[in-house]
């Protein structure tokens, strides 16, 4: 089945009891069992697993082409769910441009557990190869990356990781499986902040890990989630599943709008550079074309006038709301340098855009008026 069809039908079997097409939400924390704890319908306690979550996990695994998925309370809980099962002394290689929460979690908490963290430009395969020289446990990819929209060749990085006995995990939040399927390209685990495009309406937090195989890594992550309890609430699982149904259709419009806006912005004198992999001038354009179905709807721009111009333009936008997060129906703009806490790493002249589902002409008009005074 094609992805669009899976998005609508995976985990969507009509309710066996009532025939309801919209899945029931099972809020029960506990499930009746036999006197010696014999399971009756397969469930025991909500933290271990529940029917609403099972539907979502079936859909996530089907969409990513994985063997199994684990839903978590947030994208960060999913990341922690993987980092915290690494063996003592593990070495983790992270991309030099990545979600700031991952950078902070890894650098602040992994060393306490005896793990080491190093950063490398994942677009530079020779650098990745060299960085793998000390025994490496886990390589983490984020492509396109946040917020610079850097591209990494997933298949090539997977070959390097596996040649060194490392696991390859890939944050697929920006692309979604509609645009890119890292497991098919050799990744071992895909991570999602389902808060973003999967949920799609800026109203539900969640995360997921999708595994290529039901192997020891999957078992460890499942066991740790059960014990640590960073599980997704059933209602959140239900909302995320609802988002799955329209994911492919939304991504098509998100991407079409992003293309029009990126081309408009690239022609504006006040804009020094547009980071969007669909532009032929983007250094990762060829890699994106080879491994993605479309180029996504996240972009970032550098303003010629630096930080001041970036903040002034963000302040003049009307349709693009100043807010963090991404992947919702509404377009958002964010000066990442102002939201990364005490030690921002994003360039100060940079604005990150999440292009929404409004009409492209209205989005372009908003930027035209905001840039007119720049």
Ligand X SMILES: *Cc1c(COP(=O)(O)O)cnc(C)c1O
**Residues in contact with ligand X by the rule CB under 6 A:** 74-76, 99, 101, 142, 146, 171, 173-174, 193, 195-196, 205, 207
Using the minimum distance from each CB to ligand X, give the nearer residue, 43 or 174.
174
Using the minimum distance from each CB to ligand X, give the nearer residue, 3 or 77.
77
Is position 260 annotated as part of the catalytic site? no
Beta strands in the chain (DSSP E): 68-72, 91-95, 116-120, 138-142, 167-171, 189-193, 207-211, 271-275, 298-303, 321-322, 332-334, 350-354
DSSP lists the bridge partners of residue 350 as 302
CB of 236 to ligand X, least distance (A): 11
CA atoms within 13 A on the CB side of 208: 33
Select which of 43, 99, 197, 295 is catalytic: 99
Using the minimum distance from each CB to ligand X, give the nearer residue, 85 or 230.
230
Using the minimum distance from each CB to ligand X, give the nearer residue, 174 or 211.
174
CB of 205 to ligand X, least distance (A): 5
Instruction: Kindly report the number of other CB atoms within 10 A of residue 33's CB atom.
Output: 14
Instruction: Kindly report the number of other CB atoms within 10 A of residue 355's CB atom.
Output: 27
Using the minimum distance from each CB to ligand X, give the nearer residue, 170 or 371.
170
Instruction: Kindly report the number of other CB atoms within 10 A of residue 85's CB atom.
Output: 18
Using the minimum distance from each CB to ligand X, give the nearer residue, 264 or 331.
331
372 Cβ partners below 8 Å, 6+ apart? none
Is position 245 annotated as part of the catalytic site? no
CB of 190 to ligand X, least distance (A): 12
Is position 99 annotated as part of the catalytic site? yes
CA dihedral 148, 106, 292, 239 (to 10 degrees): -110
Select which of 47, 242, 307, 316 is catalytic: 47
Select which of 196, 225, 250, 336 is catalytic: 196
Burial of 373 (0-12, 13-18, 19+ CB in 10 A): exposed
- 249 in helix, strand or coil? helix
Residue with the closest Cβ to ligand X?
Answer: 75
CB of 77 to ligand X, least distance (A): 7
Select which of 97, 171, 188, 349 is catalytic: 171
H or E element: which one contains 61?
A: helix 51-64
CB of 1 to ligand X, least distance (A): 27
Instruction: Kindly report the number of other CB atoms within 10 A of residue 359's CB atom.
Output: 12
Beta strands in 96-146 (DSSP E): 116-120, 138-142
CB of 339 to ligand X, least distance (A): 12
User: Sheet holding 321-322: strands in order across?
Assistant: 271-275, 298-303, 350-354, 332-334, 321-322
Active site residues: 47, 99, 171, 196
């Amino acid at each position: 089945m094609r992805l669009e069809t899976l998005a609508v039908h995976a985990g969507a079997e009509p309710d066996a009891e009532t025939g309801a097409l919209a899945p029931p939400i099972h809020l029960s924390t506990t499930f009746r069992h036999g006197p010696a704890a014999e399971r009756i319908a397969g469930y025991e306690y909500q933290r271990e697993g529940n029917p609403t979550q099972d539907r979502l996990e079936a859909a996530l695994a089907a969409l990513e082409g994985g063997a199994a998925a684990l839903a978590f309370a947030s994208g960060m809980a999913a990341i922690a769910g993987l980092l915290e099962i690494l063996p003592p002394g593990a070495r983790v290689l992270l991309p030099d441009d990545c979600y700031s929460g991952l950078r902070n979690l890894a650098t602040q908490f992994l060393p306490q557990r005896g793990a080491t963290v190093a950063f490398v430009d994942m677009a530079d395969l020779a650098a990745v190869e060299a960085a793998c020289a000390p025994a490496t446990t886990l390589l983490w990819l984020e492509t396109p990356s946040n917020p610079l929209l850097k591209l990494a060749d997933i298949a090539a990085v997977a070959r390097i990781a596996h040649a060194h006995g490392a696991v390859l995990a890939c944050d697929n939040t920006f692309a979604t499986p509609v645009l890119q399927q890292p497991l098919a390209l050799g990744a071992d685990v895909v991570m999602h902040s389902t808060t973003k495009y999967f949920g799609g309406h800026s109203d539900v937090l969640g995360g997921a890990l999708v595994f290529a195989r039901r192997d020891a890594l999957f078992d460890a992550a499942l066991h740790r989630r059960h014990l640590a309890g960073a599980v997704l609430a059933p209602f959140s699982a239900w909302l995320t599943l609802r988002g799955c149904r329209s994911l492919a259709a939304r991504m098509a419009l998100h991407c079409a709008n992003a293309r029009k806006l990126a081309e408009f912005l690239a022609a504006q004198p006040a804009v020094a550079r547009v980071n969007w992999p669909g532009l032929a001038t983007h250094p990762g354009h060829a890699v994106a074309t080879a491994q993605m179905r479309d180029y996504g709807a996240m972009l970032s721009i550098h303003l010629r006038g630096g930080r001041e111009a970036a903040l002034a333009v963000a302040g003049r936008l009307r349709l693009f709301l100043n807010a963090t997060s991404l992947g919702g129906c509404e377009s958002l703009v964010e000066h990442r340098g102002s939201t990364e806490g005490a030690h921002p790493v994003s360039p100060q002249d940079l604005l990150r855009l999440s292009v929404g589902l409004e009409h492209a002409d209205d989005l372009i008009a908003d930027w035209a008026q905001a840039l007119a005074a720049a």
